[in-house]
Amino acid sequence: MRAAALGVLNTSGPAAKAGEALRVAEAWRRGALALPSSCPLDLPERPARPARPELVPPGQVPRRRLNGQAGRFALMHAVAHIEFNAIDLAFDMVARFSGASDFDTLDRRTFVSDWIGVGEDEARHFEMIEQRLAELGGAYGDLPAHDGLWGAATATSDDVLARLAIAPLVLEARGLDVTPGMIEKLKSAGDRESAARLEVIYREEIGHVAAGARWFERVCGVRGLDRVKTFHRMVETRFKGGLKRPFNAKARERAGLYPDFYEPIAP
């Protein structure tokens, strides 16, 4: 399974990476891939990437004004980039961490199944948004994008607890905060087709954050750590920029994140 996940990471083309993610998920479900062991696996520092989009500092990414098709395309392109990176984040979680000693006590198979399921969702999301970009007259790679998501992955590559804290519980949880506003703006601009795709992503991302919260708590339990204090420490030491308000408390609660978990460290 870890070798198959590595195959996703080493696939560069956007459509090919999404397709490989779906193929690996299907193979895991039908029992064609062996449960990961703790043997060493040579993992790349960065996953394979296509020549486009050009990766630039966040300030150079095109602004996403929604008063015209170009602005809506820029917004959906940014979403596609997030989903493309999210494929790799999920499969890196499996390849990098499913052999960790924490899972000698925990259920390794369930951990793999959860994150393969997340990766499968992200691949579907990417394909769905890529199709919408084509309907808007372009393709993923037409605009520059930033590399902040993989920067967060690099900062947490040494510890599954750090990765769980930052990838699902900070980055994806932030998506729960901002996506409803994006949906409403798209609807107000008359772009219900794009809004409908974001509604699918929003619903399924709640489950992704829930998986992160569940496994963060389980690993904290194995290590004898307080989950709230550990999350606060991880955000302070492993994530640049800190948490941002406002929070979508209702969606976060559905994912198992309550205000005492994040409010005390939000400026």
Domain with 80 in it = 2-32+62-265
Asked whether residue 41 is assigned to any structural domain, the reply reads no
How far CA 203 is from CA of 110, 129, 213, in Å, comes to 22, 15, 16
Asked whether residue 15 is assigned to any structural domain, the reply reads yes
Asked whether residue 37 is assigned to any structural domain, the reply reads no
| DSSP symbol at 54 | P
Q: How far apart are CA 254 and CA 158, in angstroms?
A: 29
pLDDT tens for each residue of 157-170:
999 999 999 999 99
How big is the chain, counted in residues?
Answer: 267
Asked whether residue 56 is assigned to any structural domain, the reply reads no
> Two tokens at 220?
């904290």
Q: How far apart are CA 86 and CA 23, in angstroms?
A: 16
Number of structural domains in the chain:
1
pLDDT tens for each residue of 200-224:
999 999 999 999 999 999 999 999 9
Strand partners, 145: 55
pLDDT tens for each residue of 2-16:
999 999 999 999 999
C-alpha neighbours within 13 Å on the C-beta side of residue 136: 24
Asked whether residue 248 is assigned to any structural domain, the reply reads yes
Share of the chain above pLDDT 90, in %: 81
